C-alpha cells in the first residue's frame, strides 16, 4: 500500500510540475486558454499501462491542486470538463487495444477542446463556436505532440515503468 501511494504521489507531483511550467505561458499566447497540455502526459501514460483509476485520480487531484496553487478558479469548470471528456475517450480507446499512444492522445486532445467549448457556451455567446476549427486543429496538434512524448517515455523508461505493467494493482 505504501509503495502504491508513493508511486501515485510521484506521478501527481510530476503532473503538477508540468502544470506549473505551463502557468508561465502568457495568457492569450496563441488564443485565450491555450496550453500545450504537458501535464496530460502523466495520466496518458498511466492509461496506456492499464491504470485508469490512477490516471483519473492523478488528473483530478492535479487540476484541483494546480487551480489552488497557481491557477484561476474561473478556469476550473473548463479544466474539469476537458479532463472528463478526454479521459473518457482515451480510456475507451485504451480498452480496445487498437490504437497507438499517438492516436489515443490526438482523440483526447480534440475531446478536451470540444468539452471546453461546450462549457464555454454556459458563459459566453454562441459565437464562441466559430473557433471550433481552431480548437480542433490545436487539439490534434497538441494531442499528437503529447502522444509522441508518451511513446518516447514508454520506449525510454520501459524498464523503470515495468512495475506498472507487471502489477496492475499498483
13-17, 39-43, 94-98, 123-127: which has the minimum mean pLDDT?
123-127
- Whether the pLDDT of residue 59 is over 60: the answer is yes
For the chain, percent of residues with pLDDT exceeding 70: 88
Domain boundaries, the chain: 2-166
Q: Within the chain, what is the greatest distance between any pair of CA atoms?
A: 50
Ranges 8-12, 82-86, 134-138, most confident: 82-86
Mean pLDDT of 41-53: 92
- The domain made up of 2-166 has a fold known as Arp2/3 complex 21 kDa subunit ARPC3 (1.10.1760)
Helix (H, G, I), strand (E, B) or coil at 45: helix
From CA 105, how far away is CA 167, in angstroms rounded?
24
- Which pLDDT score, from 0 to 100, does residue 72 have? 84
Residue of 137, 139, 153, 151 lying closest to 36 (CA atoms): 139
Task: Kindly write down the DSSP assignment for every residue of 131-165, as one continuous string.
Answer: GHHHHHHHHHHHHHHHHHHHHHHHHHSTTTTHHHH
Ranges 22-31, 88-97, 132-141, most confident: 88-97
- Which pLDDT score, from 0 to 100, does residue 162 have? 66
Task: For residue 167, name the pLDDT band (cuts at 50, 70, 90).
Answer: low
Task: For residue 149, name the pLDDT band (cuts at 50, 70, 90).
Answer: very high
- Which pLDDT score, from 0 to 100, does residue 125 have? 85
- Which pLDDT score, from 0 to 100, does residue 168 have? 53
pTM of structure: 0.88
- Whether the pLDDT of residue 152 is over 80: the answer is yes
C-alpha cell at 99: 490504437
- Whether the pLDDT of residue 170 is over 70: the answer is no
Amino acid at each position: 500500500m505504501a509503495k502504491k501511494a508513493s508511486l501515485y504521489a510521484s506521478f501527481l507531483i510530476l503532473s503538477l510540475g508540468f502544470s506549473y511550467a505551463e502557468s508561465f505561458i502568457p495568457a492569450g499566447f496563441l488564443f485565450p486558454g491555450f496550453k500545450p497540455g504537458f501535464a496530460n502526459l502523466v495520466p496518458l501514460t498511466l492509461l496506456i499501462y492499464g491504470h485508469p483509476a490512477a490516471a483519473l485520480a492523478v488528473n483530478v487531484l492535479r487540476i484541483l491542486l494546480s487551480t489552488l496553487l497557481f491557477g484561476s478558479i474561473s478556469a476550473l469548470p473548463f479544466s474539469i470538463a476537458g479532463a472528463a471528456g478526454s479521459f473518457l475517450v482515451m480510456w475507451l480507446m485504451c480498452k480496445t487495444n487498437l490504437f497507438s499512444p499517438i492516436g489515443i492522445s490526438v482523440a483526447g486532445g480534440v475531446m478536451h477542446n470540444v468539452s471546453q467549448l461546450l462549457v464555454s457556451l454556459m458563459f459566453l455567446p454562441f459565437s464562441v463556436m466559430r473557433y471550433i476549427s481552431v480548437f480542433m486543429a490545436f487539439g490534434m496538434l497538441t494531442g499528437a505532440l503529447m502522444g509522441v512524448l508518451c511513446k518516447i517515455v514508454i520506449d525510454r523508461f520501459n524498464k523503470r515503468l515495468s512495475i506498472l505493467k507487471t502489477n496492475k494493482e499498483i
